[in-house]
Amino acid sequence: MQVAAYARVSTQRQAQAQTTEQQLDRLRAHAEAQGWVLAPEHVFRDDGHSGASLRRPGLDRLRDAAASARLDRVLITAPDRLARNYVHQVLLVEELQKHGAMVDFLDRPMSRDPHDQLLLQIRGAVAEYERSLITERMRRGRLRKLQAGTLLPWSRPPYGYRLDPERPRDPSGVRLDETEAAVIRDLFARFTDEGTPVTALVQHLHRLDIPSPRGHRRWCTTVLRSVLSNPVYLGQVFANRLRRHPAEQRRSALLPIGCGQGSARLTDPAEWIAVAPVPAIVSQEQFDRAQERLSYNRRMARRNNRVHQYLLRGLVSCGRCRRGCTGRHMPKGYDYYLCRTKTQLPVMMPGERCAARYIPAQPLEELVWRDLCEVLAAPEMIAHAMQRARGGHWLPQELQARRANLRRGRVALGQQIERLTEAYMAGVVPLAEYERRRRDTEARLLALDGQERGLLQDADRQGETARLAAQAEMFCQRVRQGLEQADFDRKRELLELLVDRVIVTDGDVQIRYVIPTGPDGERESFCRLRTDYL
């Protein structure tokens, strides 16, 4: 029997206190008492990861191991170590059982008894409520300290400042780093007095070999703009100035969204909280001139260009370096899509220019539009692609045959339990052996239950696929009228709605489509993040 163990703590402080090791010691002792062998490669742990999220490296490795059918049983000290949210608990337990891995909780063992299931639900709800209560109390306490001026809103100081190592969150311990402060003054002077562009400032920092605020060898224009717009250099620390938002655009259509990605947006200045004064680096006049120049740059940015129209703007990716492509009008009058490393990225990454060729805009746009019209004219292609994406097409008789096999397996296991009980009652099998063999048989029975639930989910998914395919066909019928007479705005609207990405690798063009399946598909904006494409 292949046995695995999983342990988790929420904070690095708990990890340093070896709380995870205490959990693993209990799990190893339990496995040894049961006569099971717990291999080191089957020990999974998450140090400093919240149980409210499923994005945990140790949990991901455990789920991958279970999916590859390498595990028969998973040992965990308590359900809240697996997940804080009851819904997440049920999801993970069902997923592991579906792959044939039974879950054993040492503190609160699970069984098929409905009373135990109800108790588990109540405990999961209480744990989730407790976490929400703790989070709200911490938020309120932190807000009061910020308003009182006794707590810094950041643990990493802005570029140009240093913190007191003995009081890292005390505003009175903030002091200047004279070397970095001199860099800040030079950047503001070059930007406001000499009119040096931001990209030229980045190149200037590279030539001087000055590390970025995070200690990297290379600066980027985004970091430099945030430095030039940070009011802390006026001598005042503000809290609640930025607010995190979930990602709305993928950084690359060829890469999934990473953990913690999102965007930080400025809040209304009326919501800012003045925490405490710190030593100033630049004057108010110089800072105001820098903000005026940044505002002017935003108004004149290339993204606001309306002279040259690009039908596939924001939809083309380079198949070589997996970065986006931008439209560019050449002096001879031709339009091209260029890999971004040929335009902006060399400023931040010198020497990393992509070898991809220039992509002529007109032939590519005509190719994509022609292919889009063909797709809309053949809805059966969409239905076939949806069936492939959702795991293939199951015939009803095949599904019924597999369910019948599972039912026969359950009946056989039930008969084994009855014969085992009869042997124990007759004194043929000792109590310890009876309990061990009964647990193993019940575990196999639960695994069959999980497989049957998976089959039912497959059947539901096939029905959902058929419904979505029908809705996609209706959508195609609505939008394909008037395609031949469509003007630029109409074409652009359809491309934004129906094309996920156009990937160009030398002479090869790959078009990734997405077909809205809701009744109001024409009004859905594809600029938002659509999780069904990840």
pLDDT at residue number 357: 87
The string of pLDDT tens digits covering residues 419-469 is 888 888 888 888 888 888 888 888 888 888 877 777 776 666 666 656 655
pLDDT at residue number 460: 63
Tell me the pLDDT of the chain averaged across its residues. Answer: 80
Quote the tokens at residue 444.
């196999």
Q: Is the pLDDT of residue 531 over 50?
A: no
Using DSSP, state whether 486 is helix, strand or coil.
coil
Comparison of pLDDT for 482 and 42, the residue scoring more: 42
Stretch 211-220: mean pLDDT = 87
Comparison of pLDDT for 270 and 109, the residue scoring more: 270
pLDDT at residue number 183: 94
Stretch 494-516: mean pLDDT = 82
Interatomic CA distance for residues 52 and 57, integer angstroms: 14
Which among 104-113, 172-181, 259-268, 435-444 has the top mean pLDDT?
Answer: 172-181
Q: Is the pLDDT of residue 497 over 80?
A: no
Least trusted range by pLDDT, from 62-76, 286-300, 318-332, 342-356: 342-356
* Predicted confidence band of residue 248 (pLDDT cuts 50, 70, 90): low
Using DSSP, state whether 44 is helix, strand or coil.
strand
Options 10, 111, 132, 212, the catalytic residue:
10
CATH H-level superfamily of 3-131: Resolvase, N-terminal catalytic domain (3.40.50.1390)
Closest CA to 352 of 220, 259, 225, 226: 220
pLDDT at residue number 393: 47
Q: Does domain 161-300 have CATH number 3.40.50.2300?
A: no
The string of pLDDT tens digits covering residues 142-199 is 889 999 999 999 888 999 999 998 888 999 999 999 999 999 999 999 999 888 889 8
Q: Is the pLDDT of residue 236 over 90?
A: yes
Give the N- to C-terminal CA distance of the chain in Å, as an integer: 35
Stretch 267-290: mean pLDDT = 92
* Predicted confidence band of residue 252 (pLDDT cuts 50, 70, 90): low
Which among 398-407, 472-481, 512-521 has the top mean pLDDT?
Answer: 398-407
Q: Is the pLDDT of residue 90 over 60?
A: yes
Q: Is the pLDDT of residue 98 over 70?
A: yes
Domain extents in the chain: 3-131, 161-300, 368-533
Instruction: Give residue for tokens 């091209």.
Output: 336
CATH topology identical between 3-131 and 161-300: no
* Predicted confidence band of residue 286 (pLDDT cuts 50, 70, 90): very high
Least trusted range by pLDDT, from 106-120, 134-148, 404-418, 514-528: 514-528
3-state SS string for 516-527? CCCCCHHHCCCC
Evaluate the CA torsion angle 433, 437, 442, 447 in order and state its sign: positive
pLDDT at residue number 290: 94
Torsion of CA 186, 187, 191, 197, to 10 degrees: 130
Residues paired with 337 in a beta bridge: 327, 359
Stretch 485-505: mean pLDDT = 82
Residue 10 among the catalytic residues? yes
Least trusted range by pLDDT, from 244-248, 251-255, 261-265: 251-255
* Predicted confidence band of residue 380 (pLDDT cuts 50, 70, 90): low
How far out from the chain centre does Cα 34 lie?
39
Q: In angstroms, what CA-CA distances link 350 with 196, 207, 344, 345?
A: 19, 11, 10, 8
Enter the DSSP assignment of 151: S
Q: Is the pLDDT of residue 533 over 50?
A: no
Comparison of pLDDT for 65 and 478, the residue scoring more: 65
pLDDT at residue number 525: 40
Instruction: Give residue for tokens 């007095």.
Output: 193
pLDDT at residue number 152: 92
DSSP per-residue codes, 76-111: ES-HHHH-SSHHHHHHHHHHHHHTT-EEEESSS---
pLDDT at residue number 398: 62
Q: Is the pLDDT of residue 113 over 80?
A: no
Q: Within 13 Å of residue 140, how many CA atoms lie on the same side as its CB?
A: 6
pLDDT at residue number 486: 78
Q: Is the pLDDT of residue 278 over 90?
A: yes
DSSP per-residue codes, 48-64: S--TT-S--HHHHHHHH
